[in-house]
Amino acid sequence: MNGEKTEGGRWLNEGDCITWVESENKPPKIYPLDLSIIYEDNYIAIIEKPAGICVSGNQYKTVYNALGHNLSPSTAIDALPWPLPAHRLDNQTRGLLLIAKTAGARIKLGHDFECKAIHKIYHALVVGKPEKKGEIKVDIDEKKAQTSYELISYTPACKGGYLSLLKLTPHTGRTHQLRIHCAHIGSPILGDSLYSKEELLLKNKGLFLAATGIRLSHPIIGDHLSFDTAIPEKFCKRMTYEKRRYDHFQNSHNS
């Protein structure tokens, strides 16, 4: 700005001169992790991110470094040097991740996320038994945040009384929004070490949260796209285990 290098969050004044210089970043070091490709064309892709791996960051084992191993290069005029994630998922969250392969697609996807034109669906196992449906409107970092939820199924559990499967639809995109909102209604997500009571945690089982659906307009072609992925098998296994454990406890107590 005005001939000097500056940070991106700098406030501007009338008359300031902004010059954009493309950074000479080196191509990512390819991480040969096989990803599940849900959709791919010349402009975008949708992959399924595994739990326990970061989308990007200052480390080798990331989705960002694995994209070149999994996706075909774009032949578009404005093709990016390498594909880039268009949004983020927490390290412990698995599920659908949108990838940009061209500059135009990346810009349009960023705009659509900002305008809330891209809709994401999550499923989570939570402690307790919330109401059948609800809206959670609790500010996060002094910014408005809203989440809709629907109770899909539940089972009695020895800890927390119940274990419930929720469908979650975030209407805003705050950091840890779903985790904070579920904890706010008294039903923290199973495996959440930040927002759950320590006695309700599971060791080495990960976070029971998955991005299972995404709805958007194609950033270049304009077609409506809708994708869903299965609820992780470990969710169903956990509910079955908790039900069996609860029944065993009840039978032992009554005998």
Domain-by-domain residue ranges, the chain? 23-115, 117-255
- pTM value > 0.95: no
Closest CA to 49 of 217, 214, 188: 214
The CA–CA distances, whole Å, from 76 to 54, 103, 200 equal: 28, 9, 50
Catalytic residue among 16, 34, 41, 90: 90
160: left (phi over 0), alpha (psi -120 to 50) or beta: left
Judge: domain 117-255, CATH 3.30.2350.10: yes
β-pair type (94-102, 209-217): parallel
**Fold match between domain 23-115 and domain 117-255:** yes
Q: According to the model, what pLDDT value does residue 254 have? A: 66
Would you state the structure tokens that stand for residue 38, as one six-digit string? 């849900």
Buried-state track 230-242, b at ≥16 Cβ within 10 A, e below 16 = ebbebbeebbeeb
Q: What pLDDT is recorded for position 124? A: 97
User: Known catalytic residue: 90?
Assistant: yes
Statement: 23-115 belongs to CATH 3.30.2350.10: yes
- Closest listed residue to residue 104, CA positions, set 71, 85, 83, 80: 80
Task: Decide if 146 contacts 171 (C-beta within 8 A).
Answer: yes
pLDDT of res. 248: 78
CB atoms within 10 A of CB 134: 14
Q: Hey, CA dihedral for 71, 77, 80, 86, is it positive or negative?
A: negative
Per-residue pLDDT of the chain (255 residues; tens, 9 = 90+): 877 777 777 788 888 888 765 554 678 999 999 999 999 999 999 999 999 999 998 899 999 999 999 999 999 999 999 999 999 999 999 999 999 999 999 999 999 999 999 999 999 999 999 999 999 999 999 999 999 999 999 999 888 889 999 999 999 999 999 999 999 999 999 999 899 887 677 777 889 999 999 999 999 999 999 999 999 999 999 999 998 988 877 777 665
